[in-house]
Amino acid sequence: MTLEELERYLLQSLNMALNVDGETSYCNAFALEVKSERFYFIPRLPAGYLIDNDLYQKIFVIANASLYPQYTVLKQNSAYFVPLDSDDFHVQRALFFPWFKGISKRLVIPNLTTFAQENKGNKIPLMENLTLDFDKVTGIVIAGNSGSGKSYALTYLLEMLATMSQLIICDPKYDTPSRWAKTHHIPVIHPSSNRSKSDFVSEINDTLSKMITVIYERQAILFENPHHEFEHFTLVIDETLALTEGVNKTIKESFLSLLSTIALLGRATRCHLVLVSQRFDYNAVPVSVREQMNVLIQIGNINSKTIQFLFPDLDPSGIVIPIGKGTGLIQVIDNEHPYQVLPLLTPTFYTQEGIL
């Protein structure tokens, strides 16, 4: 289908379903302009209908359903206006809808260890059409209900990160991350039967404090040489919400304060956080931490309630999310990706027996 044919098809879909007080393109109320990676909805003003967020979301729902699976329209948090290069004042603005060709497709990896070793640079493939540049990552959060596939997704990330970053893992459940770390000879902090939970979190606080010291030392180096390249240093914390439940208040407050400092200062010095939790409300991490994370992943059941902490301004209606384990939403916030939310299918892979 050519862009001209696509434009006619999409315009017909909007004329039939949009229902804006009887206004259609046939009476010159609006027009469309289709490009290779986007389309514009161009209202002719003055208009007999409101051009607001509700209209934007209606157009998104109609367009995304009409174009699936040939194209995926990328969900925006609110109406996205752009100026148009026109001398006609009536059509100098448009609603902007970015898209990509095809749909999100899951990576299938026969041998994860080999795949990670052959992966060059600091790139982490997440789907067939999405690759993460770890040089531009501040932090990663993975949220999802029990059984949604968080541990599976985390194992994939750990395997990839092991080739490009120094790792320290905190595992309150002494579960999958600990087993993976054991096979890769990577330090892991986990509880033991002869220690209290507060003692365990206190040990984590010591690690956070050492990481902050590394950040300050690297900042001093950057002051003298702004172009210095550091090795990536990543702290991974599994079950972040459960970690501080029932812990001494002073120790918990210290943990949250140290976490905030790392999130705020770590970006320039290539010190990263990877946090995993069933949810990321204020009990799990401070708002300042959540706001600094620039890779947001929600796995499992997707609705307005489950996404309220990672995507508080997002209405998930109209997003086509495949059914199955390890599916959900992802948002990458950097200078390479628009601030859209994508359907996510985490990679399928085979790993050593006994880890998962």
Per-residue pLDDT 10s for the chain (356 aa) are 788 999 999 999 999 999 888 888 888 999 999 998 899 999 999 988 999 999 999 999 999 999 999 999 988 888 999 999 999 999 999 999 999 888 888 999 988 888 998 887 889 999 988 899 999 999 999 999 888 889 899 999 999 999 999 999 999 988 889 999 999 999 899 888 777 888 999 999 999 999 999 999 999 999 999 999 999 999 999 999 888 888 888 999 999 999 999 999 998 899 999 999 999 988 888 888 998 999 999 999 888 898 999 998 888 888 888 877 889 999 998 776 656 788 999 999 876 555 65
Residue 182 lies in a domain: yes
Sign of CA dihedral 207, 209, 215, 220: negative
pLDDT at 318: 85
pLDDT at 355: 61
Which CATH number goes with the domain that contains 61?
A: 3.30.980
Residues 169, 288 within the same domain: yes
CB 307 within 8 A of CB 329: yes
Residues 56, 203 within the same domain: no
Residue 269 lies in a domain: yes
Residue 12 lies in a domain: yes
Cβ neighbours, 10 Å, residue 13:
16
Domain count of the fold of the chain: 2
- Laid out side by side, the sheet with 327-332 consists of 188-189, 165-170, 232-237, 271-277, 139-144, 295-299, 327-332, 342-345
Residues 189, 322 within the same domain: yes
Q: Looking at 101, 135, 153, which one is the last position of a domain? A: 101
Residues 216, 344 within the same domain: yes
Residues 68, 186 within the same domain: no
Residues 64, 170 within the same domain: no
Residues 116, 82 within the same domain: no
Residues 210, 80 within the same domain: no
Residue 356 lies in a domain: no
Residue 237 lies in a domain: yes
pTM for the full predicted model: 0.88
pLDDT at 93: 95
The domain of 19 spans 3-101
List Cβ<8 Å contacts ≥24 apart for 79-83. Answer: 79/51, 79/52, 79/53, 79/55, 80/56, 82/40
Q: Looking at 75, 101, 127, which one is the last position of a domain? A: 101
Residues 71, 210 within the same domain: no
Residue 155 lies in a domain: yes
113: DSSP letter: H
CB 62 within 8 A of CB 329: no
Which CATH number goes with the domain that contains 178?
A: 3.40.50.300
Q: Looking at 101, 133, 164, which one is the last position of a domain? A: 101
Residues 163, 295 within the same domain: yes
Cis peptide bond upstream of 226, omega within 30: no
Residues 316, 254 within the same domain: yes
Nearest to 59 by CA among 46, 49, 69: 49
Give one word for 185, left, alpha or beta, with left for phi > 0 and alpha for psi -120 to 50.
left
Residue 354 lies in a domain: no
CB 147 within 8 A of CB 324: no
pLDDT at 48: 87
Cβ neighbours, 10 Å, residue 214:
17
CB 76 within 8 A of CB 56: yes
244: DSSP letter: T
pLDDT at 338: 59
274: DSSP letter: E
β 38-43/348-349 pair status: unpaired
Residue 355 lies in a domain: no
Q: Outline where DSSP puts E strands in the chain.
A: 30-34, 38-43, 71-73, 81-83, 93-101, 108-109, 123-127, 130-133, 139-144, 165-170, 188-189, 232-237, 271-277, 295-299, 327-332, 342-345, 348-349
Residues 171, 319 within the same domain: yes
| Measured distance CA(14)–CA(18) in Å, rounded | 5
H/E stretch holding 252: helix 249-265
